Amino acid sequence: MNSIHKQSKIYIAGHRGMVGSAVWRALEADGYTNLIGKTSSELDLRNQDAVSEFIASEHPNVIIDAAARVGGILANSEFPYQFLMENLQIQNNLIDTAHKQNVEKFIFLGSSCIYPKLAPQPLKEDCLLTDSLEPTNEWYAIAKITGVKACEAIRKQYNKDFVSLMPTNLYGSFDNFDLNTSHVLPAMLRKFHEAKENGNTPVTLWGSGTPMREFLYVDDMAQAVVFAVNNKLPEHLYNVGTGTDVTIKELAETIQNVIGHQGDIIWDSEKPDGTPRKLMDVSKLKGAGWKYEIELLQGIKKTYAWFLEHHASLKQVKLSK
């Protein structure tokens, strides 16, 4: 039986990020009244002693790990050490402290990039570690695989409710729209918006446009986390997605139409495509009782509306080697 109730204390690591803030909103909407979060300036999750002291003082019933260093192909290729080490530090400190201090439930959030580059489609949970990773994001993927296996090991050895949710490509409110560090959908949205503002100038996009990608609106991901909080899931690893995908070219044309950009799209085939396809098999979580609600076109419209409201204050992220 699930022992969590509406007054249970829930700590959301990364509560200011796109995923963490969506999870916070979704839990509040579901009636949870005892949510806690700390900014990175208040609590450095890379610091083991600080994490241990914080969890010991707060005694949360649930920890949701939505904290990570994230970015697209460019950021991963330029900062491999930070993407590997900082993600290992963050998740290992949270997982180990949660175990040692007997936190009732731990929900670890990762990414579909944990699966092999050429794994059979759609990606099933049991294809993990069956082949080599996509080189353009292997550093982040290796860290996240370690987190999945750590939660599995704790579950196996100590029978604790530690579960991993692996979402497909996420987008939505509070996304990162920095052109140097963002993922494909928000980067496209910003590029088309700025090109429209500059007189419908051409938009140059990376690759050939032929790879296929699956996209999940972040509020749907948040509902999957709420589902995991409300239920004691029987297995350690679940994919979270829509089970449908589009080509990057189709994505670009959809975003272009939503924004109203009238210029040309130029595909720079000298730039890498990344993984040819990354479609998730979401039958396991669907069988447990969860399903997405927001279709891609609706989600892009929601995201663009949020962008228009906030883009003047969006900052360019600076990374240091």
Annotated binding site for substrate: 191, 206, 213, 273
The residue from 32, 115, 140, 304 that is catalytic is 140
Give yes or no: 32 in active site: no
Token duo for residue 301: 């419209």
Q: Are 207 and 268 contacting, i.e. CB atoms less than 8 angstroms apart? A: yes
Q: CA-CA distance, 46 to 67, in Å (whole number)? A: 11
Q: CA-CA distance, 162 to 167, in Å (whole number)? A: 16
- Which residues participate in the annotated binding site? 14-20, 109-112, 144, 167-170, 183, 191, 206, 213, 273
**Which residues are identified as catalytic?**
140
